């Protein structure tokens, strides 16, 4: 009997001792909705490079730290508008999956979103951007933030915590989203959060700030530091639990500093709601170790581009980005430091790009001008000395180019009389000296802005009912402030009919902006599935350049007009003949020394520097 009494006492003691540990375990009835929107169907919307990495890491945290059952995790990659409405409901109907999965007054609901956010163009709302949204009509096919907050406040969860790694400024780390707007009205996230209820929100940035990327860790900057906080680093008082207020304080301190140090920009998180909410608890004083998540590597496409074998060892003549595709708009997959050797497997046919490899695998593409041939038999010290010498010569050449008094390119082959040669020499010697008020920098900045407008005109338009897609690409763009011109190489592939295709590869064009250019509108026609029908792709021409976006062309023309006012024209004998602004016959401008003198006097009054430098 005594033995039975002792056994019962021991059993009771064992039951009491394990009960507290069980009570500290997070409830398996909790629910998580995790969305990563990376690739958008609208080609004007840049990718959110690390959105899927963010989503995968948050899913792992939900499983291992929050102890949420797999079937209670709604995980969406590249969510469309329909999927987002299915998850959260829509305006006027909050009964989405969040409402279905939550056990009333028992489940804690966690929502995480990584992707683009935009401001409405015609209202005062902010929107999460589904991957099938059109950037021009985001206020129609985006997901309104105020609808998200309103619906989540009605799901009857014990608590709702929302993390948004997005900004609503119309800008992104990868570039602007709203290209056709002069500005965007920003609605602070606090304006749409219900003041009553159990909803708490933590966003990546405030008002019109950008949500930056952490390229080193391949996460959104907000997500990277949120993960660090929830894996225990935010528990500054070491009480074994991480509250929402501690997460916000950690982000305010660590994430803000990282954004300022890396990008010299402000990124201030915004928190609204119950800051005493406990998000994570330690077990026996220890937080779970953060696991290593396999990062998504950008797909390297090698089948879509014809390659010419090279098989050479080369090196980076300067820091060089390795891209997933042979275009400057493709995601960066690696970077070669200046002087770093690399094996070149092939060259992209008809494009100035090299396919580079490490080991036996092509890792991406590098622009050909960024790679040079390594000395075949040389020590590393010799190669380093050669590279340093080349760098010094480049700097010396640059200084010489900017200070030279020989301001004109070599004249074309023409027959001149001795009197004409004397007259032209007199004109050149009387050119205005360079002053401190030199518009050369303005010319260079304006040309670079115009080049950026050209760079984003490249596009690929799918044509399921034709022989193939239309591809229009600017392979490279060079600005030359010395001669007020832009040079470019463009390629075009377009199905015209069932048995005919336009293929233009690496066509080089240039335009001077001390000359007026001609405008035109080109419509590329291609057949539809209906044998009697056809569709058209409009390109708006300005001089030799084509624009898909009419507003971009207007901006380009406005910049060109500015250059026309400040770019000095070369003396007439040195003008090049082109279809855009032909010079008058020689008889009208040869031997007119006085005309040149008068024109140069006017330039001196305006402090215009020599027009062209070599």
Q: What is the DSSP string of 555-597?
A: HHHHHHHHHHHHSPPPPGGGPPP-SSSPPPPGGGTTT-HHHHH
Number of H helices, E strands in the chain: 14, 29
> Is the per-residue pLDDT at 225 higher than 60?
yes
Helix (H) or strand (E) run with residue 176 in it = strand 175-176
Predicted pLDDT at 248 = 92
Average pLDDT along the chain:
75
Decide if 411 contacts 578 (C-beta within 8 A): no
Residue 214: band (very low, low, confident or very high) from pLDDT cuts 50, 70, 90? confident
Predicted pLDDT at 463 = 66
The CB density around residue 285, as the number of other CB atoms within 10 Å, is 8
Our CA dihedral for 494, 495, 496, 500, rounded to 10 degrees, sits at: 110
Which residue would you say has higher pLDDT here, 403 or 321?
321
Predicted pLDDT at 351 = 87
Half-sphere exposure of residue 372: CA atoms within 13 angstroms, side-chain side: 15
Q: If you average pLDDT over residues 385-409, what whole number do you get?
A: 58
Would strands 470-480 and 353-358 be described as parallel, antiparallel, or unpaired? unpaired
Residue 380: band (very low, low, confident or very high) from pLDDT cuts 50, 70, 90? low
Which residue would you say has higher pLDDT here, 244 or 167?
244
Residue 382: band (very low, low, confident or very high) from pLDDT cuts 50, 70, 90? low
Residue 533: band (very low, low, confident or very high) from pLDDT cuts 50, 70, 90? low
φ and ψ at residue 131, rounded to 5 degrees:
-75, -15
Of 485, 475, 471, 539, the closest CA to residue 507 belongs to: 475
Lowest mean pLDDT among 74-78, 402-406, 508-512, 544-548: 402-406
Predicted pLDDT at 537 = 85
Token code pair at residue 326 = 């042979």
Task: Tell the residue number behind the tokens 């169907």, with chain if given.
Answer: 41
> Is the per-residue pLDDT at 55 higher than 70?
yes
Q: If you average pLDDT over residues 173-194, what whole number do you get?
A: 41
Per-residue pLDDT reduced to its tens digit, 319-353: 888 988 888 877 778 888 888 889 999 999 888 99
Decide if 131 contacts 182 (C-beta within 8 A): no
Residue 467: band (very low, low, confident or very high) from pLDDT cuts 50, 70, 90? low
Predicted pLDDT at 381 = 62
Which residue would you say has higher pLDDT here, 108 or 504?
108
Percent residues over pLDDT 70 in the chain = 71
What are the DSSP E strand ranges found in 29-155? Answer: 31-36, 73-77, 108-114, 117-119, 126-128, 143-144
Distance of CA 21 to the CA centre of its chain: 48
Residue 296: band (very low, low, confident or very high) from pLDDT cuts 50, 70, 90? low
Residue 147: band (very low, low, confident or very high) from pLDDT cuts 50, 70, 90? very high
Residue 87: band (very low, low, confident or very high) from pLDDT cuts 50, 70, 90? very high
Residue 71: band (very low, low, confident or very high) from pLDDT cuts 50, 70, 90? very high
Residue 98: band (very low, low, confident or very high) from pLDDT cuts 50, 70, 90? very high
Helix (H) or strand (E) run with residue 478 in it = strand 470-480
Which residue would you say has higher pLDDT here, 356 or 414?
356
Residue 549: band (very low, low, confident or very high) from pLDDT cuts 50, 70, 90? confident
Predicted pLDDT at 110 = 96
Of 388, 309, 322, 292, the closest CA to residue 348 belongs to: 309
Task: List % helix, strand, coil for the chain (3-state, nearest 5).
Answer: 30, 25, 40
Predicted pLDDT at 15 = 35
Predicted pLDDT at 73 = 95
Instruction: Give the C-alpha separation, 108 to 158, whole Å.
Output: 5
The CB density around residue 471, as the number of other CB atoms within 10 Å, is 15
Instruction: Give the C-alpha separation, 564 to 76, whole Å.
Output: 52
Of 460, 546, 549, 562, the closest CA to residue 180 belongs to: 549
> Is the per-residue pLDDT at 468 higher than 90?
no
Q: What is the largest CA-CA distance in the chain?
A: 134
Strand partners for 489: 476, 508
Instruction: Give the C-alpha separation, 67 to 279, whole Å.
Output: 12
Distance of CA 210 to the CA centre of its chain: 12
What is the pTM assigned to this prediction? 0.48
Q: If you average pLDDT over residues 194-211, what whole number do you get?
A: 76
Q: C-alpha angle 471/472/478, rounded to 5°?
A: 145
Strand partners for 90: 93
Our CA dihedral for 69, 71, 77, 82, rounded to 10 degrees, sits at: -130
DSSP state at residue 13: H
Lowest mean pLDDT among 193-202, 300-309, 380-389: 380-389
Per-residue pLDDT reduced to its tens digit, 556-595: 999 999 888 888 777 654 444 444 344 444 433 333 444 4
Q: Would you say the C-alpha torsion 568, 571, 572, 577 has a positive or negative sign?
A: negative
Q: Would you say the C-alpha torsion 296, 306, 356, 507 has a positive or negative sign?
A: negative
Q: Look at phi and psi of residue 571 and say left if phi exceeds 0, alpha if psi is from -120 to 50, else beta.
A: beta
């Amino acid at each position: 009997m005594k033995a039975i009494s002792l056994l019962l006492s021991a059993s009771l003691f064992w039951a009491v001792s394990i009960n507290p540990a069980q009570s500290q375990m997070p409830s398996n009835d909790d629910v998580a909705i995790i969305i990563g929107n990376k690739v958008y169907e609208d080609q004007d919307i840049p990718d959110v490079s690390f959105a899927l990495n963010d989503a995968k890491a948050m899913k792992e945290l939900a499983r291992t730290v929050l102890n949420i059952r797999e079937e209670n995790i709604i995980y969406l990659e590249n969510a469309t508008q329909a999927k987002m409405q299915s998850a959260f409901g829509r305006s006027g109907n909050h009964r989405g999956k969040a409402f279905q999965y939550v056990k009333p007054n028992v489940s804690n609901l966690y929502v995480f979103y990584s992707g683009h956010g935009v401001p409405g163009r015609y209202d005062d709302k902010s929107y999460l951007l589904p991957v099938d949204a059109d950037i021009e009509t985001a206020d129609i096919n985006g997901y309104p933030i105020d609808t998200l907050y309103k619906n989540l406040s009605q799901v009857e969860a014990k608590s709702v915590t929302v993390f948004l790694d997005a900004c609503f400024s119309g800008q992104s780390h990868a570039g602007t989203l709203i290209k056709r707007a002069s500005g965007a009205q920003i609605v602070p996230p606090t304006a749409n959060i219900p003041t009553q209820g159990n909803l708490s929100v933590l966003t990546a940035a405030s008002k019109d700030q950008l949500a930056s990327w952490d390229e080193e860790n391949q996460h959104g900057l907000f997500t990277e530091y949120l993960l660090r906080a929830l894996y225990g680093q935010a528990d500054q008082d070491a009480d074994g639990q991480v509250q929402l207020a501690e997460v916000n304080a950690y982000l305010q301190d660590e994430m803000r500093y990282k954004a300022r140090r890396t990008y010299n920009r402000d990124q201030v998180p915004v928190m609204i709601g119950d800051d005493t909410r406990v998000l994570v608890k330690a077990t026996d004083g220890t937080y779970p170790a953060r696991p290593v998540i396999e990062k998504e590597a950008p797909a390297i496409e090698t089948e879509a581009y014809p390659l010419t074998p090279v098989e050479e060892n080369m090196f980076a003549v300067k820091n060089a980005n390795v891209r997933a595709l042979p275009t400057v708009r493709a995601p960066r997959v690696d970077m070669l430091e200046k002087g770093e050797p690399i094996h070149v497997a092939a060259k992209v046919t008809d494009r100035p790009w090299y396919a580079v490899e490490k080991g036996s695998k092509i890792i991406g593409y590098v622009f050909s001008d960024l790679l040079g041939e390594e000395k075949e038999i040389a020590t590393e010290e010799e190669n380093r000395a050669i590279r340093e010498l080349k760098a010094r010569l480049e700097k010396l050449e640059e200084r010489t180019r900017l200070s030279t008094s020989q301001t004109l390119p070599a004249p074309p082959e023409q027959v001149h009389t001795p009197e004409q040669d004397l007259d032209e020499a007199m004109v050149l010697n009387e050119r205005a000296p360079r002053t401190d008020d030199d518009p050369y920098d303005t010319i260079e900045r304006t040309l670079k802005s115009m080049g950026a407008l050209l760079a984003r005109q490249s596009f690929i338009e799918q044509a399921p009912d034709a022989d193939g897609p239309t591809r229009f690409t600017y392979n490279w763009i060079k600005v030359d402030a010395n001669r007020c011109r832009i040079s470019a190489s463009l390629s075009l592939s377009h199905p015209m009919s069932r048995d005919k295709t336009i293929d233009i590869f690496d066509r080089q064009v240039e335009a001077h902006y001390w000359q007026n250019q001609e405008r035109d509108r080109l419509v590329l026609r291609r057949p539809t599935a209906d044998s009697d029908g056809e569709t058209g792709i409009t390109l708006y021409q300005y001089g030799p350049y084509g624009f898909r976006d009419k507003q971009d062309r207007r901006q380009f023309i406005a910049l060109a007009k500015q250059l026309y006012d400040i770019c000095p024209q070369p003396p007439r004998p040195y003008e090049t003949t082109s279809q855009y602004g032909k010079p008058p016959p020689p008889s009208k401008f040869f031997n007119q020394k006085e005309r040149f003198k008068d024109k140069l006097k006017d330039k001196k009054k305006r402090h215009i520097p020599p027009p062209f430098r070599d």
